[in-house]
Every structure is written in structure tokens, then in C-alpha cells.
Amino acid sequence: MNILLAGGAGYIGSHTAVELLSAGHSVVIVDDYSNSSPEAINRIEEITGKKVTAYTADVKDKAAMRKVFGENKLDCVIHFAGLKAVGESVQQPVRYYRNNIDTTLTLLECMQEADVKCIVFSSSATVYGEENKIPYVETMKRGSCSNPYGWTKVMMEEILEDATVADKDLSVVLLRYFNPIGAHDSGMLGEDPQGIPNNLMPYIAQVAVGRRDKLTVFGGDYPTPDGTCRRDYIHVMDLANGHLKAVEYAAQHKGTEVFNLGTGTPYSVLEIIKAFENASGVNIKYEIGPRRAGDLPEFWANANKAANVLGWKTVRTLEDMCKDTWKWQSMNPQGYIK
Ligand code: NAD
Ligand code: WQD
């Protein structure tokens, strides 16, 4: 298949590009590099030995996207192009709603014009909100989110689902990611956040490499086994493989299907620190600080549906996640050279 990766130069998109190319698919990447580097494209090509068709464009830009759809015969779209910083979304809600929702609408309009009938969407476990019981199952109703970022995901899921009600030939797969971490095992691709990392693993990796002094653990008094929050961390290459299975499924399917992409096993913040120290041999300086607003004590996936329907399951361990993160960070201490 020829697959458009909107936002494909980013963390998850770049790893997915490698997985798709390695499986024999072709990829077209559109990115405005607002949160990534063009160097990621070179690395994808270097790892796979295959050529990527890449456009520098804003996915909201209808004229630019028409050109992309006009110049390429596309079979499916994967929509990664979103702003994703939870705290920033509270400060800049309009920018988040504009970017995340408009990219989705532009893609749907261009797909309609070009008769492309298949889209896989980067959703998030955040759509389960605050009400649902753990582990999260796809049959649960979407919940209420504590921030605009989460609401954009809820709204985009709804928009995409509505589109399949109106167009019976359309296939939508909503992938609800849990907590992606890790990197390609070559050490050439990885997560390269701009500024101070919001997420746990990139923060730990930057402490390990000496870019940050110490980690603050957000809260040590949660009702969890060791008092720190628990999450379902998933290796980004297992997640990438989930996209491969999802596009192949979506191409044969019509209507909306939702899949959790997680391992089903939670780890606490302290367990992640310990696992990283073991994998890297580096001591991680940390202190327990106050809770971060909006954090839930714990959640993880019921990942049975993806196993049963897509034949997908995770194969990489927490040790792999830490080892590969460390390889990426130590080989690229400042991330991609921009
Ligand atoms: P990322 O920021 O690394 O990748 C997103 C990419 O989209 C970046 O390359 C960015 O430059 C690009 N982009 C953003 N807006 C654009 C626009 N208007 N036009 C063109 N390009 C644009 O993030 P990621 O971690 O790879 O996440 C990919 C998707 O998965 C996002 O939609 C995110 O919300 C979702 N997601 C991520 C996580 C996570 O923890 N990383 C969890 C759940 C869901
Ligand atoms: C993990 C754990 C923190 C940083 C976020 C989004 C979610 C999804 C994935 C996109 C939590 C703790 C973190 C630090 C810490 N993204 N932590 N010190 O919050 O589970 O999920 O990313 O959809 O929507 O909310 O991930 O990596 O930020 O935090 O103690 O400096 O690490 O409190 O328990 P989170 P995270």
C-alpha cells in the first residue's frame, strides 16, 4: 500500500514509517516540523534503505494537501499530526483545538475528493477520562478529560466516527495509545522533545545524559503499591507494529473500529527509574515532589481486542524500552541536530 503519514516525522510517525517500509509498503510523509526535525526523514531512509516521499507542509493547509493527494495515489492515511503537550493545551486551548481538529477535517475533505477510503488515527488512552474503571476496554464510553488536549482527541474520535456513518465505504481505525516510550534499536531514531520534557521517560533520559540535574517524581502518596502513579508503558516499535496491523486491517474493513494499544501491565514511576538504572548503569537522581494536576493514580489497557482482531501483541520488555531509550539518548545527547 501507499500510505500517507501526516505528522510522520515525529516520534511515533518516524518509527511507524520504518515498520511500514520494512514490511514492503510505501510512505509519503507530510510534516511542518513544528515538533520534529527533517533529520528524522534521513534516518528513516538510512535504517530501511528505502526512499521516503516527504513534503514540508501544514496539514491544515487545504491547497498544500490537495497537491499531496494529487501527486500520490494513496491507499490509506495515518493521522499523527497533532499538538500533544497536555499542560500547554491548558495555556493555549484555541491553538490546540485549531491545529488538532483542522488537520483532521482537512484530511477528511482531501480523502473525500481523492476517493481515499481508509484512515488510522492516533488517539489516546486519555479519552477514557476520569470515570472509567481500570483496565480500560474499548466498549467503555469516552469519559471527561481534564484538559483541552484530551478533549481534542475525544472530538476527533467523534468526527471520524460520524464520517463513517455518512460514508459507508469509509474505514476508520481509532488507535488508543497508552504510554509510548523507547526507541528504534539502532539508536538512530527516538523521542526528541523540544525544551523541558513533559513526559517521564525523556526526562529520565536527559537526567542520565547530564542535560537535567534531577527528576521530580510527581507525588509519592497515591493509593498504589509504592505510592507513585502507575502507567501502561509500551515500546514505540511494538506500537509501530500495531499501526502496520491496523492499516492492513483498515484496508479490508468499513466503519469505525477502536483498538487499545498497550501491554496490559502497569509500572510505577519508581519501577521505571529502577529499570532505567539497571539497563543503563547510570544512577538517576530524583526527589519526590507534589502531585501534578490532572494525573490519575493508575491506568492500563485491556489489550485483548487488538490481539484477537488484529493478531497484534507486544513482544518487547520494560528492559528493552529502557535499553533502547538509553542507546538513542547516549548516541544523540542533544537529539537530532537541527
Ligand atoms: P510528535 O509531536 O513527535 O509528532 C507529531 C508530528 O506532527 C510532529 O512531527 C509535528 O511536527 C507534526 N505536526 C503537528 N501539527 C502539524 C500540522 N498542522 N501540520 C503538519 N505537521 C504537524 O508526537 P508523537 O508522540 O509522535 O504523537 C503522534 C500522535 O500520537 C499525536 O497526535 C499525539 O497526540 C498522539 N499520541 C501520542 C502519545 C504519546 O505519548 N507520545 C500518546 C497518545 C497519543
Ligand atoms: C507518566 C508518569 C507522571 C514526568 C501523557 C498524556 C497522555 C498521553 C501520554 C498523549 C505520571 C510521572 C512524569 C516527570 C513524573 N499522551 N512523571 N515526573 O501523564 O501518563 O500521559 O502522555 O495522548 O494523554 O497525559 O505520561 O510521561 O507525562 O507521565 O513523576 O517529570 O510519570 O506523574 O505518573 P502521562 P507522562
Nearest Cα residue to atom 30 of ligand 2:
217
- pTM, 2 dp: 0.99
192-225: per-residue pLDDT in tens? 999 999 999 999 999 999 999 999 999 999 999 9
For the chain, percent of residues with pLDDT exceeding 70: 100
Checking if the pLDDT of 338 tops 90, the result is no
The torsion of the CA quartet 97, 100, 101, 103, rounded to 10 degrees, works out to: 140
Report how far ligand 1's centroid is from the alpha carbon of 125 (Å): 15
Checking if the pLDDT of 262 tops 90, the result is yes
Report how far ligand 1's centroid is from the alpha carbon of 162 (Å): 23
Q: Give residue 323's identity as a one-letter amino acid code.
A: K
Q: Which ligand is nearest to the CA of 271?
A: 2
Nearest Cα residue to atom 3 of ligand 1:
10
121-180: per-residue pLDDT in tens? 999 999 999 999 999 999 999 999 999 999 999 999 999 999 999 999 999 999 999 999
State if residue 86 touches ligand 2 by the CB under 6 angstroms criterion. yes
54-80: per-residue pLDDT in tens? 999 999 999 999 999 999 999 999 999
Kindly indicate the confidence band of residue 337, based on its pLDDT and cuts at 50, 70 and 90. confident
122-131: per-residue pLDDT in tens? 999 999 999 9
Catalytic site positions = 149
Q: Which ligand is nearest to the CA of 79?
A: 1
Checking if the pLDDT of 334 tops 70, the result is yes
State if residue 320 touches ligand 1 by the CB under 6 angstroms criterion. no
State if residue 35 touches ligand 1 by the CB under 6 angstroms criterion. yes
Q: What is the mean pLDDT of the chain?
A: 98
103-137: per-residue pLDDT in tens? 999 999 999 999 999 999 999 999 999 999 999 99
Checking if the pLDDT of 237 tops 80, the result is yes
d(CA 127, CA 110): 26
The torsion of the CA quartet 26, 32, 35, 38, rounded to 10 degrees, works out to: 60
Q: Which of 23, 44, 30 is nearest to 79 (CA)?
A: 30
